[in-house]
Amino acid sequence: MTISTPNGKVSSISADSGTPVFQLSGRDVVDGIYRYELKAATEEKVEIVNPVDNGRGEKAENSMLKPFYMSGYFTVARGVIITPDEIKEDDG
């Protein structure tokens, strides 16, 4: 997973299995919009369409693990991740 902070810092987070976890760390938290990109392989196998990508010799296969991709953004305000429904104007 790759995270881009509002001030331009880019962080890469990985996990050998399961979901990588991004944590906001106390004093380094910048309010604003964070963008993320998540790339992974699922446990589901799919047919290899392009034979160039099937390996060589005894390692050649006709299937591979199905790739997964997701991107998006989330908002941080006052040091915590918020959802749009939680955004309220201060009265004073």
* Mean pLDDT along residues 62-90: 83
* Mean pLDDT along residues 63-88: 85
pLDDT at residue 3, as a whole number: 94
pLDDT in tens, 5-64: 999 999 999 888 888 888 887 777 899 999 999 998 888 998 877 766 566 677 777 888
* Four-residue CA torsion sign, 62, 64, 66, 72: negative
Contacts 24+ apart (CB under 8 A), 75-78: 75/32, 75/33, 75/34, 76/6, 76/24, 76/29, 76/30, 76/31, 76/32, 76/33, 76/34, 77/31, 78/31
Instruction: Read off the pTM.
Output: 0.70
Instruction: For the chain, give the number of residues.
Output: 92
